[in-house]
Amino acid sequence: MVSGTTKLVGLIGDPVAHSLSPLMHNSAFQAMRMDWAYLPLHVLPGNLRDALRGIHSLGFLGVNVTVPYKERVLPFLDGLSDQAKRIGAVNSISMVEGRFLGDNTDWSGFLRDLAELRFHPQGSRALILGSGGSARAIAYALLSERVTVTICARNTATLPGLVGHFRKLFPGRLTEPLTYENLHDVRIEADIIVNTTPLGMAPHAGLSPWPEAVAFPHCALAYDLVYNPPKTRFIELAEANGVKAVNGLGMLIHQAALAFEIWTGASAPLEIMRKAVTAC
């Protein structure tokens, strides 16, 4: 039960109703007998600045940030971790002495999940679908592991900036970017394909970022950051072509555990968090 002494954290995004983060964090707080609560906060476009002011006024100690605000939130923050600066996107905010400090736990959560899946990315080739804040975190994670990365996106307005940013950080690691229109004309050579777009998640359930008219490439792993629903059209297309495919639930758990530790200073009860969301 939330009381006048309860410490508040939460999630801001649009949408947030699909998110398993409240269940996961609140299960962890309950198991550890901590008087904390995690609340989903649906923030409509145009209301981001006001939402952050409200979070500050209500005494929240932190929030996670999901689509579409991982990049848009940056101008409203007072400071960034080194990783968040290098990525150019934030998925976790802490309130420290009245200041909003941005961090990114997506990239390390993704790598921790790959390790659990026994996929070792070092020296491999990756295709990333999307060019938003999640794409930035995944690109940073893979490039840090000496992966050769190709980015494919519909949004040609954001694609050059993303590619230019990471070419400066990791010279020689990014190939020429692709658009969905020229997927028909190129041969995809990748060991891992990662969907970082919201396609497949409500209100886009049933849609795939991979074009239905293009054969799904042979690769070792197809990874969909969408986890609700657990089997997206992207995963179905991969599996129909004999490719191992997983959703982003593992990454969700690991990035949440890292955020939990940033906010509380306590070790996250990882298995309790995992059990809470895998039992759904």
Query: At residue 98, what are phi and psi to the nearest 5 degrees?
Result: 80, 5
C-alpha closest to that of 34 among 4, 60, 7: 7
Place of tokens 């999307």: 130
Rounded distance, CA 94 to CA 277, Å? Answer: 24
- Please list the alpha-helical segments (H only) found in the chain: 21-31, 48-57, 82-87, 106-116, 133-144, 159-169, 233-240, 249-264, 270-278
Q: What is the pLDDT along the chain (280 residues), one digit of tens a residue?
A: 789 999 999 999 999 999 999 999 999 999 999 999 999 999 999 999 999 999 999 999 999 999 999 999 999 999 999 999 999 999 999 999 999 999 999 999 999 999 999 999 999 999 999 999 999 999 999 999 999 999 999 888 889 999 999 999 999 999 999 998 888 889 999 999 999 999 999 888 899 999 999 999 999 999 999 999 999 999 999 999 999 999 999 999 999 999 999 999 999 999 999 999 997 7
**In this predicted structure, what is the pLDDT of residue 181?**
85
**In this predicted structure, what is the pLDDT of residue 218?**
94
Residue 16 is encoded by which pair of tokens?
A: 């947030």
Is the bond preceding 15 in cis, omega lying within 30 degrees of 0? yes
In this structure, are residues 276 and 23 in contact, taking their beta carbons and an 8 Å threshold? Answer: yes
Domains of the chain: 7-104+253-278 (3.40.50.10860), 107-247 (3.40.50.720)
C-alpha closest to that of 250 among 278, 231, 272: 278
Q: Which residues are catalytic?
A: 70
How much helix, strand and coil, in percent to the nearest 5, is found in the chain? 35, 20, 45
Rounded distance, CA 150 to CA 145, Å? Answer: 14
**In this predicted structure, what is the pLDDT of residue 197?**
96
Tell me the pTM: 0.97
Can you name the residues that pair with 153 across neighbouring β-strands? 179
